[in-house]
Amino acid sequence: MELSEEDQATRVFLRIFPKKRVRISTKCTNCLKCLEVCPTGAIYLKNGKLLVEVKKCVACYACVITCPEKAITIEWFDGRLEEVEVEDNI
């Protein structure tokens, strides 16, 4: 799967302004393909639940490209919100 133009733009943007959120939607089927491809170990399982440790994420988008359900989105956020280390499933 190729990245959408929007994802490509966000990836470039995140290199410059590396504040981000990683969201895993309810479309997730727990196939764990994203966990296998994540190069930094940012995606992990806790009590059977898929979680992302945002500080470890380098916005490589491997998980976004790999997810068969298109369940993962990465977005920049401006820091006015409190930074969260672990983004729960939504």
Among 7, 13, 60, 73, binds ligand SF4 (CB under 6 A): 60
Distance CA 46, CA 78 (A): 28
Choose which of 10, 14, 51, 59 interacts with ligand SF4 (CB under 6 A): 59
Are 21 and 55 within 8 A, CB to CB?
no
User: How many residues bind ligand SF4, per CB under 6 A?
Assistant: 29
Q: Is residue 14 at the binding interface for ligand SF4, with CB under 6 A as the rule?
A: no
Q: Count other Cβ atoms within 10 Å, centred on residue 90.
A: 10
> Which residues contact ligand SF4 (rule: CB under 6 A)?
22, 24, 28-34, 37-38, 40, 42-43, 50, 52, 57-63, 66-67, 69, 71-72, 74
